[in-house]
């Protein structure tokens, strides 16, 4: 695959596909983590004299955090200490004229890519090439740099559509992500501990199945809604309030699948021994064995309990590889961050090579100043897809582009691409 340093960019127009999809509260972005992560790539391009067109998606149509990229441009301007002009257009005349008028060292930010209908479907490269988005922008750009690791599991026009038309190059973030994730996945150092939390239960079950079946993990610790589904699969009752919630979320139907994983790998999947419920706005811990489990009937579980955190900490202390995705509870609520922060801190303190990811949950790593984690991944779903052993369309597109354009560049195939598993 092409690396950023394989080309020079003086006077060239570069389409930089980033993933700046960020958490939003009351219409405002609450974390700049993904912005900071792409700064090295943008700086490299600017120092080299490129004309940079940054593009990202933000959420999906009709969701509460589906906003324009105006604030994205503001945040990037502040972090880069130079103006990043917000262009309220994607591939229309206004955008094309602005791209055509760019000067070396200038940066613009296109409108939220998912404002265009073409960008909300998942289509193969050949279909993406036919979109107006790709057809209108291709004549204006020299190179495509993809630094959107967090969207690498999506096959959409801005992510894969240019691969056969222009050299598509890995950004520094994407390269670092793939490097770190491959290192964890391929490592034979033991024990290798995976921590699966958050609300993406089906994705997490796919990861559990893949890493256990292929001998990539020695132990799985669970929390968040993933932990609750596995707890039910072990035969514990989590009460009307919680079972009702999981039912409304469509997650109860996953209990059978979790049971099948336990049938095969029971000793290797650990579940919480206690949970914290929201008892009239107070944190109240309930032990699964000795506690008053009637509380589960009325009060929602919002975190794992302290005893679980301690048990997980002991395991993490002696781990050699740790991969963690998703929070242990509703860490955004005061009183219920204990599980997530406790486990993430234990990861940071462990001598293991460690990766923590999970979209918005990495915000907690920064909010609570947790240090010592080897790699904080910007990927949520993309990271889970990677560890589920699935092919990531963006990585595939980078390979295709490399094969198409390597002629003349005289570059050997990078070692990195050899690490990708199928
Ligand atoms: C993410 O946050 O996981 C990525 O930005 C991808 O977003 P999506 O799940 O809406 O495609």
Average pLDDT over residues 262-277: 98
Helices (H), 224-361: 224-233, 239-248, 255-265, 295-298, 306-317, 338-349
Average pLDDT over residues 121-147: 98
The whole-angstrom separation of Cα 398 and Cα 415 is 14
- CATH topology agreement for domains 2-170+391-408 and 178-379: yes
Q: Establish whether residue 358 lines the binding site of ligand 1, counting it when its CB lies within 6 angstroms of any ligand atom.
A: no
Q: Give the number of the atom of ligand 1 that is nearest the alpha carbon of residue 154.
A: 11
For a mutational test of ligand 1's pocket, the pick from 19, 59, 63, 174, i.e. the residue with the most ligand atoms closer than 8 A to its C-beta, is: 19
Contact (Cβ atoms closer than 8 angstroms) between residue 159 and residue 392: no
Can you give the pLDDT at residue 360? 66
Can you give the pLDDT at residue 407? 81
For a mutational test of ligand 1's pocket, the pick from 18, 30, 31, 57, i.e. the residue with the most ligand atoms closer than 8 A to its C-beta, is: 57
Residue nearest (by alpha carbon) to ligand 1 atom 2? 359
Mean pLDDT estimate for the chain: 95
pLDDT exceeds cutoff 70 at 62: yes
Q: Establish whether residue 381 lines the binding site of ligand 1, counting it when its CB lies within 6 angstroms of any ligand atom.
A: yes
**Domain range annotation of the chain:** 2-170+391-408, 178-379
Q: Establish whether residue 113 lines the binding site of ligand 1, counting it when its CB lies within 6 angstroms of any ligand atom.
A: no
Helix axes 172-186, 33-47, angle to 10 degrees: 120
The whole-angstrom separation of Cα 30 and Cα 33 is 9
pLDDT exceeds cutoff 50 at 422: no
Q: Give the number of the atom of ligand 1 that is nearest the alpha carbon of residue 148.
A: 5
Residue nearest (by alpha carbon) to ligand 1 atom 6? 151
Q: Establish whether residue 359 lines the binding site of ligand 1, counting it when its CB lies within 6 angstroms of any ligand atom.
A: yes
Can you give the pLDDT at residue 306? 98
Q: Establish whether residue 151 lines the binding site of ligand 1, counting it when its CB lies within 6 angstroms of any ligand atom.
A: yes
Can you give the pLDDT at residue 174? 98
The whole-angstrom separation of Cα 99 and Cα 92 is 11
Centre of ligand 1 from the C-alpha of residue 132, in Å: 22
C-alpha separations of 143 from 3, 62, 140, 264, 285 in Å: 12, 32, 10, 48, 54
At 371, the pLDDT band (50, 70, 90 cuts) reads very high
Q: Establish whether residue 63 lines the binding site of ligand 1, counting it when its CB lies within 6 angstroms of any ligand atom.
A: no
Can you give the pLDDT at residue 408? 67
Average pLDDT over residues 339-343: 96
Centre of ligand 1 from the C-alpha of residue 70, in Å: 19
* Portion of the chain with pLDDT greater than 70, in percent: 96
Q: Establish whether residue 380 lines the binding site of ligand 1, counting it when its CB lies within 6 angstroms of any ligand atom.
A: yes
Assign a CATH topology to domain 178-379.
Rossmann fold (3.40.50)
Q: Give the number of the atom of ligand 1 that is nearest the alpha carbon of residue 360.
A: 2
Average pLDDT over residues 86-109: 98
Residue of 384, 388, 341, 382 lying closest to 361 (CA atoms): 341
Can you give the pLDDT at residue 421? 43
Can you give the pLDDT at residue 358? 83
At 420, the pLDDT band (50, 70, 90 cuts) reads very low
For a mutational test of ligand 1's pocket, the pick from 17, 19, 21, i.e. the residue with the most ligand atoms closer than 8 A to its C-beta, is: 21
* Strands across the sheet containing 269-270: 269-270, 219-222, 192-196, 321-325, 353-357, 375-376
Centre of ligand 1 from the C-alpha of residue 5, in Å: 28
Q: Give the number of the atom of ligand 1 that is nearest the alpha carbon of residue 21.
A: 5
Q: Give the number of the atom of ligand 1 that is nearest the alpha carbon of residue 150.
A: 4
Can you give the pLDDT at residue 271? 98
* Portion of the chain with pLDDT greater than 90, in percent: 92
Centre of ligand 1 from the C-alpha of residue 299, in Å: 31
At 131, the pLDDT band (50, 70, 90 cuts) reads very high
At 413, the pLDDT band (50, 70, 90 cuts) reads low
Task: Give residue-wise pLDDT tens across range 388-412.
Answer: 999 999 999 999 999 999 986 656 5
Centre of ligand 1 from the C-alpha of residue 306, in Å: 31
Average pLDDT over residues 277-304: 96
Written out in words, the top-level CATH class of the domain with range 2-170+391-408 is alpha beta
Task: Give residue-wise pLDDT tens across range 219-252.
Answer: 999 999 999 999 999 999 999 999 999 999 999 9
Can you give the pLDDT at residue 410? 57
């Amino acid at each position: 695959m092409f690396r950023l340093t394989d080309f020079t960019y003086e006077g060239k127009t570069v389409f930089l596909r980033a993933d700046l999809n960020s958490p939003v509260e009351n219409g405002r972005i609450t974390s700049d983590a993904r912005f900071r992560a792409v700064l090295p790539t943008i700086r490299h391009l600017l120092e080299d004299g490129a004309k940079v067109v940054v593009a990202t998606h933000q959420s999906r149509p009709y969701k509460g955090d589906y906003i324009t990229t105006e604030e994205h441009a503001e945040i990037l301007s502040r972090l880069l200490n130079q103006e990043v002009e917000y262009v309220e257009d994607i591939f229309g005349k206004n955008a094309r004229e602005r791209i055509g008028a760019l000067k070396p060292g200038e940066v613009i930010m296109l409108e939220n890519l998912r404002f265009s209908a073409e960008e909300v479907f998942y289509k193969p490269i050949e279909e993406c090439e036919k979109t107006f988005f790709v057809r209108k922008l291709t004549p204006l750009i020299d190179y495509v740099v993809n630094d959107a690791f967090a969207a690498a599991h999506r096959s959409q026009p801005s992510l894969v559509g240019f691969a056969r038309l222009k050299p598509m190059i890995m950004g520094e973030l994407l390269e670092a992500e793939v490097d770190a994730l491959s290192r964890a996945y391929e490592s034979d150092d033991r024990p290798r501990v995976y921590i699966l939390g958050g609300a993406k239960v089906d994705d997490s079950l796919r990861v559990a199945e893949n890493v256990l079946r292929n001998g990539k993990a020695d132990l799985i610790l669970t929390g968040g809604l993933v932990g609750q589904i596995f707890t039910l699969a072990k035969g514990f009752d989590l009460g009307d309030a919680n079972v009702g919630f999981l039912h409304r979320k469509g997650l109860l139907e996953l209990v059978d699948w979790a049971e099948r994983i336990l049938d095969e790998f029971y000793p290797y999947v650990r579940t919480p021994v206690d949970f914290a419920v929201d008892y009239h706005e107070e944190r109240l811990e309930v032990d699964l064995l000795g506690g008053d489990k009637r509380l589960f009937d009325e009060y929602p579980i919002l975190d794992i309990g302290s005893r679980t955190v301690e048990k997980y900490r002991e395991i993490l202390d002696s781990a050699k590889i740790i991969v963690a995705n998703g929070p242990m509870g509703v860490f955004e609520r005061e009183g219920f961050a204990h599980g997530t922060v406790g486990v993430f801190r234990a990861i940071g303190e462990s001598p293991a090579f460690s990766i923590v990811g999970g979209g918005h949950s990495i915000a907690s790593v920064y909010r609570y100043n947790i240090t010592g984690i080897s790699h904080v991944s910007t990927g949520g779903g993309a990271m889970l897809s990677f560890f589920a052993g699935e092919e990531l369309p963006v990585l595939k597109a980078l390979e295709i582009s490399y094969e198409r354009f390597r002629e003349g560049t005289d570059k050997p195939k990078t070692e990195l691409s050899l690490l990708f598993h199928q």
